[in-house]
Amino acid sequence: MTRTEPAHDYRILVEGAMEPAWSECLAGLVIVVDEQPGQPLVSVLSGMLPDQAALYGVLNTLYMLNLPILLVERRPRTD
């Protein structure tokens, strides 16, 4: 029997500023650069991922881009 897991909402923080155009290569996650005075730039990637394979693909792409991953968070579903 095959069990279908629902998609989960993720938030990933990486050090540095990412261009929003990278969203297409990162499973459609929304990219917002967080600029805090006196702090390094942090890019916040957020959105739904269908499964662990998609999450792994995003993390692997960030690794290949040599971007330090600061946080990976699966957020509670709101539906």
> Which structural domain range is residue 33 located in?
8-75
pLDDT score at 1: 47
Number of independent structural domains in the chain? 1
Tell whether 2 is covered by a domain.
Answer: no
Tell whether 26 is covered by a domain.
Answer: yes
Tell whether 15 is covered by a domain.
Answer: yes
Residue 10 CB coordination number (10 Å): 19
What number is the average pLDDT over the span 69-73? 97
Tell whether 35 is covered by a domain.
Answer: yes
pLDDT score at 28: 97
Compute φ and ψ for 23, nearest 5 degrees: -55, -40
Q: Who has greater pLDDT, 7 or 4?
A: 7
User: pLDDT tens, 7-55?
Assistant: 899 999 999 999 999 999 999 999 999 999 999 999 999 999 999 999 9
Tell whether 54 is covered by a domain.
Answer: yes
pTM attached to this predicted model: 0.88
> Count of alpha carbons within 13 Å of 12, Cβ hemisphere only?
28
pLDDT score at 4: 66
CATH code of the domain in which 52 resides: 3.30.70
Tell whether 3 is covered by a domain.
Answer: no
